[in-house]
Amino acid sequence: MKARDLVERFEQFAPKKLAMDKDPVGLQIGSLDQEIHKVMTTLDVRPEVVDEAIDNDVDFIFAHHPVMFHPAHNLDLDDPQNAMYAKIIANHITVYAAHTNLDSADGGMNDWLAESLQLSHLTGLVPAYDESVFRLTVQVQKVYAAAVRMSLVDAGAQASADQYSGYTYEIDGTVYYVPKAGADPTMGAAGEPNEIEDSRLEFEVPEKNLHKVLRTLADVHPLEKPLYNLIRLEDKKHHFTMGRIGDLPRSMTVKEFAEYCKQVFSVSGLRVIAKDLTKPIQRIAILGGDGGKFFHLAQQKGADAYVTGDVYYHTGHDMLAADFPVIDPGHHIESICIPKLASMFKRWSDDNDWHLDVYQSKINTDPFTFM
């Protein structure tokens, strides 16, 4: 398989348009046309991680954090960062990063973090992207309707229904017509009235799936030019959000919750910003990475406390003034993506017969040591 096979499938799950402005997501180093056999999932791309990839015959590194947040100003190989780039290229490794688009994806980073805390009744925290939804109506001979319907559902076309998958609508009817000279002979003799049993299929298609669905329709529809109608639903959009808010299984004090976070995220220490450690809390907001600037939004949306990393000193003072407890377990809790991405890629490999090996990085890239 080629790198782009995996990337195209991933970008159906977490499109690049979900990323925040100026976030350098996507291909970092290498070529999407490179053949790949073994992918490594990692949080960060650091020199020791690249050595790990080489030692394990990895030819594709899939990272959460971009390896190139800032462009290189020269190719001086005495610079450790440049030397790492050179080693990646010399060993024919392709590097791809999914950052804030993975943070905002449904079932992505922040859902994984919320799940680890056993939060329920989830809602979104920070608006990220409003995706259009289209109504697709396809006309097809009844004998072909089931095959066309199943192919389009597999490509991502289905009406919205939270409790069901493959939800579509079908209505049957009869088409009456008289073929003209030069018409498809399989549709009847020219000049003679004819009729066929027809079906009209109706789907709702998220914008991210639209290209694949229409490409599939062209491939599977029995007519050379399929009959279909496409309408953008102005009153219906899918709202992607970064961060989650949900309820703990039970009420805890701030101190109890801090200890719970240490256990869940396997950290030996964390920072707590709170006036009263005995304050009971249950509704929790969480945003992986550097999310301190969104604490006012979390409070406004009804959270009792907030979990995020990299809280700045002065922002901490503002949190205390607002009497809003915040737990900072560090940025590295996002390493939850390593096994989650690996599991996803293994499932896709099986589904698509890719024969792709998946390796999880074992290097701890957290730069901090708690003493």
* Residues of the binding site: 64-65, 103, 331, 334
Q: What is the Cα–Cα distance from 46 to 85, expressed in whole angstroms? A: 10
Q: What is the Cα–Cα distance from 273 to 311, expressed in whole angstroms? A: 9
Q: What is the Cα–Cα distance from 326 to 146, expressed in whole angstroms? A: 53
Q: Judging by beta carbons within 10 Å of its beta carbon (0-12, 13-18, 19+), is residue 122 exposed, middle or buried?
A: middle
Q: What is the Cα–Cα distance from 219 to 232, expressed in whole angstroms? A: 23
List, as one string, the DSSP characters of 47-77.
Answer: HHHHHHHHHTT--EEEESS-S-SS--S---T
Which residues make up each annotated binding site for a divalent metal cation?
A: 64-65, 103, 331, 334
- Give the neighbor-by-neighbor strand order of the sheet with 38-42: 26-29, 94-97, 60-63, 38-42, 357-360
For the record, the structure tokens of 250 come out as 């039970």
Cβ contact 286:110 at 8 Å: yes
For the record, the structure tokens of 16 come out as 């690049």
How are beta strands 271-273 and 326-328 bridged, if at all?
A: antiparallel
Cβ contact 284:245 at 8 Å: yes
What number of CA atoms fall less than 13 Å from residue 273's CA on the CB side? 28
Q: In terms of Cα–Cα distance, which of 180, 209, 208 is closest to 193?
A: 180
Q: 166 to each of 148, 198, 205, 238, 336, how far by Cα in Å?
A: 13, 21, 11, 17, 30
